[in-house]
Amino acid sequence: MPSLRAPSASTKRSVAGIAKPEIIQVPEWNGYSRLIHGFSTRRHGHSTVYGGSDLNLGFTSADSRRVVQSNRTAFLNALLGRKHCFDLTTASQIHSDIIHVVDARSSPTQKGDGLITPEPGLLLAIQVADCVPVLAYDPENQVVAAFHAGWRGTVKRIVDKGVGTMRLRFGSDPQNIEAAIGPCIHQCCYAVGDDVVEEFRSQFAYADELFRDVYDKDPIKLRYPLLFMTARAPGHFNINSSVHLDLVEANRRQLLDAGLLPENIRVVSDCTACNKDYLWSHRAESGFAGRMVAVIGIRPR
């Protein structure tokens, strides 16, 4: 499974002396001259409410709109250069399987978690801080897509449906589609409840392959096990373990089921919760976190 490492800590500095935002890209995609793509990190921005000079790209309640807009400008300048003519095309994300085919006339406030366009000059953007961002590109038909896949969107098969929409609307052959799974929470840090396990089991024959028990050495649990009893039958649950979900693999399996070739699926290898020094993690930061974006677009000729 091809994977990408995080950007190095060294970053070129702008004329004003402020480090440019760091952007993670797929090296294998750099050969596509018309394709624009990137995954932001939290480093080198103007937000100070989260304890540093952070790149928060979401209009969160804690941060000011003016500062976030400055961060977005800095991010786009780092990605495209200062003379670009792009803006972010977003949607109001609701953890759904709703997908919109968009153009320059589309509303920026429409609700949904997937965006697809064949129109050059649009930069599709998905906001995340643990959920899985998936970017897709059909180089034959010049169609791009961005999907927001938390566990709810994943269990609703948003990525699978997205590839199907590309195929139906634009004639995309899944074997020609390239996909990248961006920074998100990995199985090492993503403990879930029995309700999530059952949701996945109801939808996927391979669901049990996506979960594993992780032993928890918490001394409180060891000393007071009755406080942490679950609804599972006796003998089916270790009181000192929790069930962890592999959202990366779940979405990779969906891409394969949709017809993509294994070698055309790239995975950014870093876990947001393990690396909150340079990636935003809603879970690891107890909900007080900014947002990253995953972006993709087509350059006009």
Q: Tens of pLDDT along 77-91?
A: 999 998 888 889 999
pLDDT of 287 reads 95
Domain 18-185+261-298 part of CATH 3.60.140.10: yes
Structural domain spans, the chain? 18-185+261-298, 191-244
**pLDDT score for 237:** 42
Cβ-based neighbours of 120, under 8 Å, separated by 6 or more = 34, 142, 297, 298, 299, 300, 301
Indicate whether this model's pTM tops 0.95: no
Round to whole Å and give the CA distance between 136 and 37.
10
Q: Can you give the length of the chain in residues?
A: 301
- The CA-based diameter of the chain, rounded to the nearest angstrom, is 66
pLDDT value at residue 82: 87
Closest residue by Cα to residue 162 from 180, 186, 150, 144 = 144
Looking at residue 78, its pLDDT comes to 97
What pLDDT score does 15 carry?
38
CA angle (119 as vertex; 113, 120 as ends), nearest 5: 115
10-residue mean pLDDT profile of the chain (301 residues): values are: 44 53 96 97 97 96 97 96 90 97 87 97 97 98 98 98 98 98 97 96 97 75 56 44 93 98 93 96 96 97 87
